[in-house]
Amino acid sequence: MSAFFISDSVPTDSDIPCSQDKQRLLMQGEILVQTRSHTAWGGAVTAWMYVPLVRSHVWQQITDYPRWVQYFPDVTKSEVLQRGEVKRLYQAAQKAFFFFSAQVEIYLNVVEELGQHIQFKLEKGSFHDFTAKLELKDCDNGTLLGYTVQATPTIPIPSIFIQQAMNFELPANMRKMRQVLCKGE
């Protein structure tokens, strides 16, 4: 069933930072980020971080979707609407862009491959398109966590600004996520 969510534009396991230099940076607490173009009004970003917890502990916490309001400061609500092989998730967020503020909401179909990855795909909401993938890999005595998002908001903001915002904000969000994960151990 998870093949339903894999697309050519969502990176797969081959994008895991594997050079010794990159892994050393990750182990020192750095967040590695790669942005790419997606659409004229959207953006795509992948961020990797090291979490000094075993993968099963990380998995248990990140699949507690109502807790995502603690990981991502802009997310104001995160609730599971339907459980099963494909979960249905509702999230709401408030985001400030330049000189205005936007409220967004999104309904996602969520497929989990136990302990490996979670794929999110837009059902409906405040985006033209939205897909995300969260991957977990063992690394030393902890876990490498990768988060890939590609999205085109309905608000017409040029792609370069979306990419810059993603490049700036995702590392801060990932640091917050790591902080909450490590407290919740």
pLDDT band at 41 (very low <50, low <70, confident <90, very high): low
Residue 171 banded pLDDT, cuts 50, 70, 90: confident
Instruction: Just give the CATH number of 21-183.
Output: 3.30.530.20
pLDDT recorded at residue 12 = 40
Joined together, the tokens standing for residue 75 give 């997310």
- Summarize the confidence of residues 131-156 as an average pLDDT: 89
Cα–Cα distance for residue pair 85/50, rounded to 1 Å: 28
How far apart are alpha carbons 76 and 80 in whole angstroms?
14
Residues in a beta bridge with 110: 87, 120
Query: CB count, 10 Å around CB of 7?
Result: 12
Residue 99 corresponds to which tokens in the numbers above?
A: 């000189």
pTM, whole model, 2 decimals? 0.81
